[in-house]
Chain A
Amino acid sequence: MDLIAKYFPNVIVNWQGDYGFVGAIKQTLYMTFFSAIIAGILGLGIGILLLITDKNGLTPHPIIYSVLDKIVNILRSIPFIIMLALLASFTRLIVHTTIGPTAALIPLIASAMPFYARQVQNALVQVDPGVIEAAQSMGESNLSIIFNVYLVEGLPELVRASVMTIISLIGLTAMAGAVGAGGLGSLAVNIGFQRFENDVTIVATIFILILVFLIQFIGDVLVKHLTH
């Protein structure tokens, strides 16, 4: 404890409270968790729609496909820092503020959703078309093929894509933190960087790294377990 106090004095000072490490970790987890859930559900839906309306998909539909495809491409092209500014008034409309972790959820979801949708599409398109054809020849409906074939056969790839999305979301929460969302990113920039308290930045980085490694590890174990 003395050692920590010697080398990381500001970490001790900034440990407790809403603006300290405890609060920051909670905020980062809160932002990552809820944006991952909501962006995950929406992204999965859009990804599946992209998959099945594609010209080689289950129910090709050029109009739906090209509209979704363009929306996803446009949203993915907007840098997150600009997305924060761009969606400020929309965010205020919904959560009545533009600062704090809840307000950050809106731009986080808007950024992660198209990213994840594309990941889902790419993951599921790798399912062997022959297996899809076999299911069709067995008289399966399209809905059944999506849930019982694509999502089952493509699960390992889907987990990989999800891990990648969550990790990039953690990166985004740190960026959101820098502009008032709180969390570890905010701690590292607003206290560590601006007050020249480098030890805070280092420890905040370590916590983020631990979080990333943990998610990667869980993902790897899951993929290994799911691959036969």
Chain B
Amino acid sequence: MTIPLVELKNVDVKFKSNHKVIHAIDHVNLTVNRQDIFGIIGYSGAGKSTLVRLINLLQKPDQGEVIVNEQNLLELNSKQLRKSRKKIGMIFQHFNLMNARTIFNNVAFALKGTKLSKEQKKQRVYELLNLVGLSDKAQAYPSQLSGGQKQRVGIARALANKPNLLISDEATSALDPKTTESILNLLKDLNKKLGLTIILITHQMEAIKQICRHVAVMEQGKIIETGSIYQIFTNPRQQLTKDFINTTTHLKESINVILRQEQISYLTQEDLTQEEKMFHLFYFGETTDLPLISTLYQKFEVSANILYGNIEMLQGKPIGNLIVILSGKPNMLEQALSFLKEAQVKVEEIDLNLIGGK
């Protein structure tokens, strides 16, 4: 077993303000392995930002332990802590660049305390700007850059002291979808190229889906569910997790849109004959390669009317969602369903009365 890069043990944070105590972090345990991309998702106010600030002790816990790079940060004096912070890069939602300094000097600022010569610093800054694709903007000021470019500067700055951990605090939340994607791809690249461990907090499931290998879901200061991205997507346990997943698959909305289509909207549960039923089929991994629908017809003479289909790729593995009306003889229908279940397909009947088609 390798030693994890970050370990939060039973950390707890309470904020007191005007007689009110807010339990921001409620006895949380978190382990992040080296070279992982770990996502923490939750709505605003869930405590994500406070949680990641514990990792570089920008926020001190009321109790618990914070271990990063095999060091218990709470045992360090302020000088040692500052030294260990240099090995933890951080990027921010609003970039937090210094407006009075050029891009070059913003990045060079992070190298201020190092023993590098002036020439070496210059070389390192250009190396970093090249890495994020901004070497031509060295003499510009932050106000002359777009949001995506500013975040790239933030990344270059965060990487200046060659950290092995990068904390991303909603780094893509202020960016448009296209820029978000390019920043996420950059992070993914850095993870691969430099072996950089990334902890990413966000309220966008899209961002998690695009680059994370592990994910934790936060609500009211607690981590309510955690696991590999694949586990979370294929077998979510908590309602909040399901809601977040739904924000990227749009399954609920799709069902509603389907039911509003003219050919279907007349349907009620009674309209579906004894031999017809509507199902949500959910399948992942190897099953996606099987010719399921044609097998249903060949083996059981059950025909499938596909109303909606969606296949997502997660960490290179497919996850599929289908909404179908299956029709066939009742006993054959039953056999078909047990065949699907054997093939690791999750089958869920959709009751039109419950959804309220019409």
Instruction: List residues of chain A with CB under 8 Å of any chain B CB.
Output: 128, 130-131, 133-141, 144, 148-149, 152-153, 155-156, 226, 228
Whether a CB of chain A sits under 8 angstroms from the CB of B290 is: no
Q: Could you show 5 A-B contacts with beta carbons less than 8 Å apart?
A: A133-B58, A134-B96, A148-B109, A153-B100, A228-B143
Contacts of B316 in A (CB 8 A): none
| Contact assessment for A131 and B98 in the assembled complex, using a CB-CB cutoff below 8 Å | yes
Contacts of B160 in A (CB 8 A): 138
From the candidates A128, A134, A149, name the one contacting B90 in the complex (CB within 8 A).
A134
- Chain B CB count within 10 A is highest, among A128, A138, A144, for A138
- Chain A CB count within 10 A is highest, among B98, B112, B154, for B98
| Contact assessment for B83 and A139 in the assembled complex, using a CB-CB cutoff below 8 Å | yes
| Contact assessment for A140 and B82 in the assembled complex, using a CB-CB cutoff below 8 Å | yes
Complex alpha-carbon distance, A140 and B85, angstroms: 9
Whether a CB of chain A sits under 8 angstroms from the CB of B157 is: yes
- Chain B CB count within 10 A is highest, among A130, A156, A226, for A130
Whether a CB of chain A sits under 8 angstroms from the CB of B48 is: no
| Contact assessment for B98 and A144 in the assembled complex, using a CB-CB cutoff below 8 Å | no
| Contact assessment for A139 and B85 in the assembled complex, using a CB-CB cutoff below 8 Å | yes
| Chain A: minimal CB distance from B237 (Å) | 34
| Chain A: minimal CB distance from B299 (Å) | 60
From the candidates A137, A148, A152, name the one contacting B85 in the complex (CB within 8 A).
A137
| Contact assessment for A136 and B96 in the assembled complex, using a CB-CB cutoff below 8 Å | no
From the candidates A133, A148, A228, name the one contacting B96 in the complex (CB within 8 A).
A133
From the candidates B109, B110, B141, name the one contacting A228 in the complex (CB within 8 A).
B141
Contacts of A135 in B (CB 8 A): 109
| Contact assessment for B92 and A134 in the assembled complex, using a CB-CB cutoff below 8 Å | yes
A-B contact count (CB 8 A): 66
Whether a CB of chain A sits under 8 angstroms from the CB of B56 is: yes
From the candidates B86, B97, B100, B167, name the one contacting A138 in the complex (CB within 8 A).
B86
Contacts of A228 in B (CB 8 A): 99-100, 141-143
Contacts of B143 in A (CB 8 A): 228
- Chain B CB count within 10 A is highest, among A149, A152, A153, A228, for A228
Contacts of A153 in B (CB 8 A): 98-100
| Contact assessment for A152 and B82 in the assembled complex, using a CB-CB cutoff below 8 Å | no
Whether a CB of chain A sits under 8 angstroms from the CB of B291 is: no
| Contact assessment for A136 and B100 in the assembled complex, using a CB-CB cutoff below 8 Å | no
Complex alpha-carbon distance, A139 and B100, angstroms: 20
Given contacts A131-B97, A133-B92, A153-B98, 17 further A-B contacts (CB under 8 A): A128-B94, A130-B94, A131-B98, A134-B90, A136-B58, A136-B85, A137-B85, A137-B90, A138-B157, A138-B160, A139-B81, A148-B109, A149-B98, A153-B99, A155-B100, A228-B99, A228-B100
| Contact assessment for A137 and B56 in the assembled complex, using a CB-CB cutoff below 8 Å | yes
Complex alpha-carbon distance, A219 and B18, angstroms: 42
A141 to chain B: closest residue by CB = B82
Whether a CB of chain A sits under 8 angstroms from the CB of B121 is: no
| Contact assessment for A139 and B86 in the assembled complex, using a CB-CB cutoff below 8 Å | yes
| Chain A: minimal CB distance from B174 (Å) | 12
From the candidates A131, A136, A144, A156, name the one contacting B112 in the complex (CB within 8 A).
A144
Whether a CB of chain A sits under 8 angstroms from the CB of B101 is: yes
| Contact assessment for A130 and B96 in the assembled complex, using a CB-CB cutoff below 8 Å | yes
| Chain B: minimal CB distance from A222 (Å) | 13
| Chain A: minimal CB distance from B50 (Å) | 13
User: Lowest 7 A-B CB distances belong to which pairs?
Assistant: A139-B85, A228-B141, A130-B96, A134-B96, A139-B82, A137-B90, A139-B86
Contacts of B96 in A (CB 8 A): 128, 130-131, 133-134
